[in-house]
Amino acid sequence: MRNFKPSFVLAVALHLLIVLLFSISFLSDRDDAQTAPPAEIIEATVLDGAAIDAEAERLKQNEENKRQAETARQQQLEDARKAEEQALQQAKKQRVLEEQKALEAAEKRKQEALAEQKRQEQLDAKRREEEKKLEEAKERRALEEKKAKEAAEKQKQAELEKQKELAEKQKQAEQERQKEAEKQKQTEKQKQQEAEREARLKEQKLAEEAKLKQQEAEAKKLEQEKKLQEQKALEQKKLQQQKAEEAKREEQAQQAKAEKEKQLAEEKARAEKEKQATLAAEKAKQAAEAEARAKAEKERQAKLAAEKAEKERQAAEAEAKAKAKAEAEAKARAEKERQAKLAAEAAAKAKAEQERQAAEAAAKVKAEQERQAAIAAAQKAEQERQAAEAAAKAEQERLAAAAAEEARLNNLIKSKTEGAWIRPMGAAQGLKCTIQVKLLPSGDVMDAVVVGSSGDPIFDRSAENAVRKASPLPVPQDKILFNQKYRVFNLSFKPE
């Protein structure tokens, strides 16, 4: 509706303008008809030539004015008609463009819907194929897990034996370190006593050297103070001399400045005086020239007026004779033409009124159709906008729900995997590793591999075993979310 509003307003304005013009024309014709003089009966036998000429001129001027008024009115009607046609053409073009845009938008939405349907079909086919592969992989994984469990048990026994051996070795090494520490402690004690004795001797030597340096520094300080006083006296003397020289230079500069200002003032006064004299001479010259031109113009105008008066007198005499002869013919012809013109105007007005009413009715019907079409297009656009907003809102709600679901599942997976973890003997606190987990849609763990090691192979293997032991893991009901986030994901394993 917004796109058609300017065209509709323009069409209404043009209709109002045409009605106003017809009203003005009708009122003008009525005034002419009411003020038209009645038929006169000429009874005089003696006619005044000047009055006849004036009457003929008046009738001629009235006819010319009527003709010009009619021409202007016809031109205004033609301009209004053209403007209305142009406005209707613009509205039609605008409507065609809107329809074309609506068709293009519908086609685009249709293509997008087909593309989305095709993509969904491809995703479904791919998902079915992946599920089939995952089922096969699940069977293979079951066999591998069985083998892995047996190997893990063997490895666990080996690790326990190895840990016992390491503990014995560490105990022996700790005892040896303690013995070495006792020996090293006694050695360090002896070294400390010798260092303390050497430090006392060194402090005495440093104290004597510091005393000598202090005496030398005091002597140097006295000498420097003496030099500074001498230097300060010389600087004061130099400053006094510089001040005297600067005062002398400043006085000379002021004298030169005053002399220069005096010369400039004298030159300025002379220049101003010469300028005033030149201006006075120029004004006097211009006044004399203007007076001469005015006198010559006055003489010329007088001569032209005399010549014009003579010509006008001769023309008036000739024209009076011609007018006296043609007055009766002019009056009869003028009356006949006036009657014919009035009849033609009445017929033209009737025809124009009929055409105007028909055009106005057609324009109203067309404008109403276009308005209804515009309203329908606007309603359709509003429905599409509301549908788009609803879809966007639904998508936002889905994303928010997915984020909440993802956070909930992550906490459950973390809790379940850490609950299935068995701390290895001797494992340090605060270890962390990253495990890449592959799941089936049922939540069963298909594979768990450390991709970011903690630095402790035993801890890494225990983390992998914990993930496999926690199978099946909680997964979302939404297949799209599962495919995007949980089919293959990285788990940060850091048990507290």
The shares of helix, strand and coil residues in the chain, as percent rounded to the nearest 5, are 85, 5, 10
Task: Identify the pLDDT of residue 43.
Answer: 43
437 forms beta bridges with: 448, 489
The answer for 455, left when phi > 0, alpha when psi is -120 to 50, beta otherwise, is: left
464: Cβ contacts below 8 Å, ≥ 6 apart? 435, 448, 449, 450
Peptide bond into 472 cis (omega under 30): yes
Question: What is the per-residue burial (b if ≥16 Cβ within 10 Å, else e) of 401-438?
Answer: ebeeeeeebbeebeebbeeebeebeeeeeebebbbebb
DSSP state letters, 1-54: -TTTHHHHHHHHHHHHHHHHHHHHHHHHHHHHHHHSPPPP----SS--HHHHHH
Task: Identify the pLDDT of residue 97.
Answer: 86
d(CA 477, CA 470) in angstroms, rounded, equals: 19
Task: Identify the pLDDT of residue 28.
Answer: 57
CATH assignment, 391-493: 3.30.1150.10
> Average pLDDT by consecutive 10-residue portion of the chain (496 residues)?
61 80 67 48 52 80 87 86 83 83 82 82 82 79 77 75 76 77 77 77 78 77 79 78 79 78 80 79 79 81 81 80 79 84 84 87 88 88 90 88 88 91 86 93 92 91 93 90 91 86
Is the pTM higher than 0.75?
Answer: no
Task: Identify the pLDDT of residue 194.
Answer: 76
131: Cβ contacts below 8 Å, ≥ 6 apart? 440, 441
CB atoms within 10 A of CB 367: 19
